[in-house]
């Protein structure tokens, strides 16, 4: 959330407020939310790769059998996306709110 808040704050100053046009407000919000979602999903993919890799390494070193289910991967990826949407919405809302300028 902090990364998105800083990113939105810096770019809002560059872009400026879209002069009250509702369609531009929605477009700007959508742009920030898509960016947050993209960043969180990329982070989710990196986390899944790191988790599965670590699990396989520990399994091969220790001899413990490990199973990584598709459901756990899907849950982790979905949670990552929801975090991106949730924490991307607030900075996006603040960026286009008239009282923030």
10-residue mean pLDDT series, the chain (101 residues)? 70 57 65 81 90 92 90 88 80 64 46
**What tokens appear for 77 in the block?**
């990826």
Burial of 70 (0-12, 13-18, 19+ CB in 10 A): exposed
> Which pLDDT value is given to residue 100?
47
What are the sequence ranges of the domains in the chain? Answer: 41-101
- Cβ–Cβ under 8 Å, residues 32 and 85: no
> Which pLDDT value is given to residue 15?
55
The pTM of the whole model exceeds 0.85:
no
The residues, ordered by sequence, that sit 6+ positions from 58 with a Cβ below 8 Å of its Cβ are 64, 66
> Which pLDDT value is given to residue 76?
85
């Amino acid at each position: 959330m902090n990364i998105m808040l800083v990113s939105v704050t810096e770019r809002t100053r560059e872009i400026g407020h879209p002069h009250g046009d509702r369609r531009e407000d929605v477009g700007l919000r959508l742009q920030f939310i898509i960016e947050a979602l993209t960043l969180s999903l990329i982070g989710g993919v990196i986390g899944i790769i790191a988790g599965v890799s670590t699990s396989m390494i520990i399994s091969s070193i220790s001899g413990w059998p490990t199973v990584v289910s598709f459901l756990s991967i899907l849950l982790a990826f979905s949670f990552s996306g929801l975090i991106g949407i949730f924490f991307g919405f607030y900075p996006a809302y603040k960026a286009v709110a008239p009282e923030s300028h």
